[in-house]
Structure 1
Amino acid sequence: MYENKVDVVAGGALMTEDGYAVVLHVDRAGVELRDSRHRVSFVEWPDLGRLAPIEGGAPAGVAALRSFAEEWNRFNAETAAEAMFRLGIVNETLTAFRFGHPELALPGEPSPLFDPALEPSLAERARRMAERLSHEAATSRSGTSRGPYSTRTVQLWVERWTKDGLLGLVDGRRAKRFELFATLPLKFRQAAHKEVAAFDGDVSTVNLREIQRRIKVRLKDDGFTGSVPQRAAGRFVAHLMRSRGTTTRAQKSNKARQVAGRESYAALVPGQVVAIDVTRSDVLVWCPVRGGACSVEIISAMDVASRMILALRVVPLSADARDAALLMYDVMRPFSQLVEGTTVSDWAWAGVPQEIEFYSDTADADPDCSGVEVVCPRSCRRVRTAPGLQGEHTIPGVRPSAVRADHGSIFVSQVFRELLARFGTDLPLSRTRRPIDNGILERYHETLQRGLQQLPGYKGRDTSECGRTVGRDGSKRDGALLTAPELERFLRRWIALDYHRSPHDGLHLSTGEPVDLRPIDMFDALLSISGRLHVPQRPDLIYDFLPVRWGTVGSTGVELSGLTYDSPEFDGLRAVPVGTFRAQDAAMPFLYDPHDVTRIWFRHPATSAIVQVPWRKAHLTKAPLTESLLQHVRGEVRRRQRGPRLPVTVAEDEIIAELGNLLDGIIPKDWRKRISAARQRYDTSRRDHTEAEVAMTVAEIVAEQRKTEPAPAPAPHGGDTFSIWADSWPFTPPEPDRGDGA
Structure 2
Amino acid sequence: MRAGDRQIRMGSRVRFRDHVYDVAGTDGSSVFLTGVGGAAPLTISATDLLVDRTFSLESAEGRPIAPPALFDLLPVDVRDVARDLERHITEVLDGVPLGSPAGTRPRPGYDVTSTTLRQREMAKVAELKAAGGPVTSLRMLQRRRTAYQARGVLGLVDRRSLQRRNPAGRTDPRVIDALLRVLEANTHGSSGTVDRIRRAVVRDLEETHPGESVPVPSMQTFYRMLSRLAEGRHATGSARTRRTLAQQPDGPFSTVRAIRPGELTQIDSTPLDVAVILADGVIGRVELTALVDVATRTIGAAVLRPTTKAADAALLLARAMTPEPMRPGWSEAVRMTHSALPYHHLVEIDERLRDAAARPVIVPETIVFDHGKVFVSDTFRSACRTLGISLQPAHQDTPTDKPIVERTIQSIGTLFAQHVVGYLGSSVERRGRTAEQDAAFTVLELQNLLDEWIVTGWQNRRHDGLRNPLVAGEVLTPNEKYAALLSVAGYVPVPLSDDDYIRLLPTCSRVINSYGIKIDHRIYDCEQLNPLRRQKSPIGALNGRWLIHYDPYDVSRVWIRTPEDDAWITAYWRQLHAAPQPFGRDAWEHGRRIVADRGAKVTEQAITEAVDSVLNRAATPDRSPGSGRRRRRDARIAARTTATTKAQLVPLPSPAAAPPARAKPTLDDEEDEVADVIPLPVFDPESEAKSWW
TM range (shorter): 0.5 to 0.7
The secondary structure found in structure 1 opposite 2:291 is: strand
- Provide the C-alpha distance between the structure 2 equivalents of 1:583 and 1:196, rounded to a whole number of angstroms: 52
1:453 counterpart = 2:412: no
- Residue 371 of structure 1 corresponds to 349
TM-score by length of 2: 0.60
Tell me, yes or no, if the aligned pair for 1:275 and 1:405 is still in contact at 8 Å: yes
- Residue 272 of structure 2 corresponds to 281
- Closer/same/farther in 2, CA of residues 547 and 727 from structure 1, 3 Å limit: closer
How far does the alpha carbon of each residue in 1:4-28 deviate from its partner, in whole angstroms, 9 at most, with x for none? xxxxxxxxxxxxxxxxxxxxxxxxx
The secondary structure found in structure 2 opposite 1:283 is: strand
1:335 counterpart = 2:324: yes
1:327 positional shift: 1.1
- Provide the C-alpha distance between the structure 1 equivalents of 2:221 and 2:286, rounded to a whole number of angstroms: 52
The secondary structure found in structure 2 opposite 1:243 is: coil
Within the candidate set 286, 293, 296, 2:286 is matched to: 296
The secondary structure found in structure 1 opposite 2:407 is: helix
Within the candidate set 554, 558, 567, 1:600 is matched to: 558
- Closer/same/farther in 2, CA of residues 338 and 695 from structure 1, 3 Å limit: farther
- Residue 295 of structure 2 corresponds to 305
- Residue 265 of structure 1 corresponds to 256
1:560 positional shift: 2.5
- Provide the C-alpha distance between the structure 2 equivalents of 1:454 and 1:583, rounded to a whole number of angstroms: 53
- Provide the C-alpha distance between the structure 2 equivalents of 1:610 and 1:726, rounded to a whole number of angstroms: 16
- Closer/same/farther in 2, CA of residues 667 and 332 from structure 1, 3 Å limit: farther
- Residue 208 of structure 1 corresponds to 194
Within the candidate set 196, 203, 222, 2:183 is matched to: 196
Structure 1 range deviating more: 543-552 or 222-231: 222-231
How far does the alpha carbon of each residue in 1:145-178 deviate from its partner, in whole angstroms, 9 at most, with x for none? 9xxxxxxxxxxxxxxxxxxxxxxxxx99689664
- Closer/same/farther in 2, CA of residues 644 and 686 from structure 1, 3 Å limit: closer
- Provide the C-alpha distance between the structure 2 equivalents of 1:401 and 1:732, rounded to a whole number of angstroms: 25
- Provide the C-alpha distance between the structure 1 equivalents of 2:685 and 2:600, rounded to a whole number of angstroms: 60
1:452 positional shift: 1.9
Structure 1 range deviating more: 294-303 or 433-442: 433-442
TM-score by length of 1: 0.57
- Residue 618 of structure 1 corresponds to 576
- Provide the C-alpha distance between the structure 1 equivalents of 2:345 and 2:301, rounded to a whole number of angstroms: 31
What's the Cα RMSD here?
A: 4.3
- Provide the C-alpha distance between the structure 1 equivalents of 2:464 and 2:159, rounded to a whole number of angstroms: 48
Tell me, yes or no, if the aligned pair for 1:624 and 1:679 is still in contact at 8 Å: no
Amino acid of the structure 2 residue aligned with 1:513: A
Within the candidate set 428, 431, 440, 2:404 is matched to: 440
How far does the alpha carbon of each residue in 1:289-309 deviate from its partner, in whole angstroms, 9 at most, with x for none? x13322221211111222111
Amino acid of the structure 2 residue aligned with 1:396: P
Unaligned ranges ≥5, structure 1:
1-139, 146-170, 348-357, 361-365, 374-382, 386-390, 475-479, 646-663, 698-724, 736-742
Amino acid of the structure 2 residue aligned with 1:557: G
Tell me, yes or no, if the aligned pair for 2:498 and 2:685 is still in contact at 8 Å: no
- Provide the C-alpha distance between the structure 1 equivalents of 2:513 and 2:364, rounded to a whole number of angstroms: 40
The secondary structure found in structure 1 opposite 2:357 is: strand
- Residue 235 of structure 1 corresponds to 224
Which structure's relative contact order is higher, taking Cα pairs within 8 Å and 6+ residues apart?
A: 1
Within the candidate set 304, 311, 319, 2:308 is matched to: 319
- Provide the C-alpha distance between the structure 2 equivalents of 1:587 and 1:185, rounded to a whole number of angstroms: 71
- Closer/same/farther in 2, CA of residues 210 and 393 from structure 1, 3 Å limit: same
Tell me, yes or no, if the aligned pair for 1:540 and 1:696 is still in contact at 8 Å: no
Map 1:536-555 → 2, pairs under 5 A = 536-555=495-514
- Provide the C-alpha distance between the structure 2 equivalents of 1:341 and 1:359, rounded to a whole number of angstroms: 21
The secondary structure found in structure 1 opposite 2:358 is: strand
Tell me, yes or no, if the aligned pair for 2:570 and 2:654 is still in contact at 8 Å: no
How far does the alpha carbon of each residue in 1:334-380 deviate from its partner, in whole angstroms, 9 at most, with x for none? 32437988479999xxxxxxxxxx999xxxxx99971159xxxxxxx
- Provide the C-alpha distance between the structure 2 equivalents of 1:368 and 1:398, rounded to a whole number of angstroms: 13
- Residue 375 of structure 2 corresponds to 411
The structure richer in helix per residue is 2
1:185 counterpart = 2:172: yes
- Closer/same/farther in 2, CA of residues 562 and 695 from structure 1, 3 Å limit: closer
- Closer/same/farther in 2, CA of residues 256 and 226 from structure 1, 3 Å limit: closer
Tell me, yes or no, if the aligned pair for 1:346 and 1:489 is still in contact at 8 Å: no
1:199 positional shift: 2.8
1:313 positional shift: 1.2
The secondary structure found in structure 2 opposite 1:592 is: strand
1:515 counterpart = 2:474: yes
Tell me, yes or no, if the aligned pair for 1:331 and 1:398 is still in contact at 8 Å: yes
- Provide the C-alpha distance between the structure 2 equivalents of 1:324 and 1:425, rounded to a whole number of angstroms: 13
Amino acid of the structure 1 residue aligned with 2:398: R
Tell me, yes or no, if the aligned pair for 1:267 and 1:304 is still in contact at 8 Å: yes
- Provide the C-alpha distance between the structure 1 equivalents of 2:250 and 2:428, rounded to a whole number of angstroms: 31
Amino acid of the structure 2 residue aligned with 1:489: N
How far does the alpha carbon of each residue in 1:696-717 deviate from its partner, in whole angstroms, 9 at most, with x for none? 97xxxxxxxxxxxxxxxxxxxx
- Provide the C-alpha distance between the structure 1 equivalents of 2:523 and 2:244, rounded to a whole number of angstroms: 53
- Provide the C-alpha distance between the structure 1 equivalents of 2:486 and 2:367, rounded to a whole number of angstroms: 19
- Provide the C-alpha distance between the structure 2 equivalents of 1:401 and 1:625, rounded to a whole number of angstroms: 33
How far does the alpha carbon of each residue in 1:96-153 deviate from its partner, in whole angstroms, 9 at most, with x for none? xxxxxxxxxxxxxxxxxxxxxxxxxxxxxxxxxxxxxxxxxxxx9xx779xxxxxxxx
Amino acid of the structure 1 residue aligned with 2:320: V
The secondary structure found in structure 1 opposite 2:274 is: coil
Tell me, yes or no, if the aligned pair for 2:318 and 2:496 is still in contact at 8 Å: no
- Residue 591 of structure 1 corresponds to 549
- Closer/same/farther in 2, CA of residues 367 and 195 from structure 1, 3 Å limit: closer
- Provide the C-alpha distance between the structure 2 equivalents of 1:678 and 1:206, rounded to a whole number of angstroms: 39
The secondary structure found in structure 1 opposite 2:247 is: helix
- Provide the C-alpha distance between the structure 1 equivalents of 2:576 and 2:565, rounded to a whole number of angstroms: 26
Tell me, yes or no, if the aligned pair for 1:549 and 1:590 is still in contact at 8 Å: yes
- Closer/same/farther in 2, CA of residues 447 and 367 from structure 1, 3 Å limit: closer
- Residue 245 of structure 2 corresponds to 254
Please say which structure displays the higher CA radius of gyration: 2
The secondary structure found in structure 1 opposite 2:496 is: coil
Tell me, yes or no, if the aligned pair for 2:511 and 2:544 is still in contact at 8 Å: yes
1:643 positional shift: 8.1
- Provide the C-alpha distance between the structure 2 equivalents of 1:212 and 1:554, rounded to a whole number of angstroms: 70
- Residue 127 of structure 1 corresponds to none
How far does the alpha carbon of each residue in 1:506-533 deviate from its partner, in whole angstroms, 9 at most, with x for none? 2233346221121112222333222343
Count the aligned residue pairs: 486
- Residue 45 of structure 1 corresponds to none
- Provide the C-alpha distance between the structure 1 equivalents of 2:290 and 2:601, rounded to a whole number of angstroms: 44
Tell me, yes or no, if the aligned pair for 1:196 and 1:240 is still in contact at 8 Å: no
Tell me, yes or no, if the aligned pair for 1:199 and 1:244 is still in contact at 8 Å: no
- Provide the C-alpha distance between the structure 2 equivalents of 1:413 and 1:517, rounded to a whole number of angstroms: 36
Map 1:101-112 → 2, pairs under 5 A = none
How far does the alpha carbon of each residue in 1:406-453 deviate from its partner, in whole angstroms, 9 at most, with x for none? 221111223222332333433322223333333222211221122123
How far does the alpha carbon of each residue in 1:17-75 deviate from its partner, in whole angstroms, 9 at most, with x for none? xxxxxxxxxxxxxxxxxxxxxxxxxxxxxxxxxxxxxxxxxxxxxxxxxxxxxxxxxxx
Tell me, yes or no, if the aligned pair for 1:403 and 1:426 is still in contact at 8 Å: yes
- Residue 664 of structure 2 corresponds to none
- Provide the C-alpha distance between the structure 1 equivalents of 2:686 and 2:592, rounded to a whole number of angstroms: 47
- Provide the C-alpha distance between the structure 1 equivalents of 2:687 and 2:314, rounded to a whole number of angstroms: 27
- Residue 465 of structure 1 corresponds to 430
Tell me, yes or no, if the aligned pair for 2:360 and 2:482 is still in contact at 8 Å: no
Amino acid of the structure 2 residue aligned with 1:514: G
- Provide the C-alpha distance between the structure 1 equivalents of 2:198 and 2:176, rounded to a whole number of angstroms: 11
The secondary structure found in structure 1 opposite 2:422 is: coil
